[in-house]
Amino acid sequence: MELVPYTVRSGNTLFGIAQFFQTSVEDILKYNNIPNPSQIFVGQTLEIPAGSAEIDYYVTRPGDSLWTIAQRNNTTVQRLTELNRLNNPNVIYPGQLIKVR
């Protein structure tokens, strides 16, 4: 199982993070020694046990676009938009975690 670093953003919950990574809240708590699941904070970096070996992630860098990420990963902008539930495929941010498969 791969541990993926994830930085908590405003509006995140452990349940939502667990769903995104196809893992459980319990596993996130265990791997991060979090005693109270209600106490995560914006900016906190969590090690997430990614649940599916078939899912790959990419951390965006300055200058990236969904088109360049799609090209590097033999997929399409439409597929990345769907996988990541993006409202606007033209807006991504450095440090954003993007599912590529």
Interval 42-62: pLDDT, tens: 999 999 887 654 567 788 888
CATH superfamily of 3-49: LysM domain (3.10.350.10)
CA distance 25 to 95: 23
Residue 29 has pLDDT above 60, yes or no: yes
CB atoms within 10 A of CB 33: 6
83 within 8 A of 42, measured Cβ to Cβ: no
Element holding 27 (H helix, E strand)? helix 25-32
**Do 3-49 and 57-99 show the same overall fold?**
yes
CATH 3.30.70.3000 given to domain 57-99: no
pTM over 0.75: no
Give the pLDDT band of residue 19 (cuts 50, 70, 90): confident
> What's the gap between Cα 91 and its chain centre?
16
Indicate the domain borders of the chain: 3-49, 57-99
- What's the chain's length in residues? 101
43 within 8 A of 7, measured Cβ to Cβ: yes
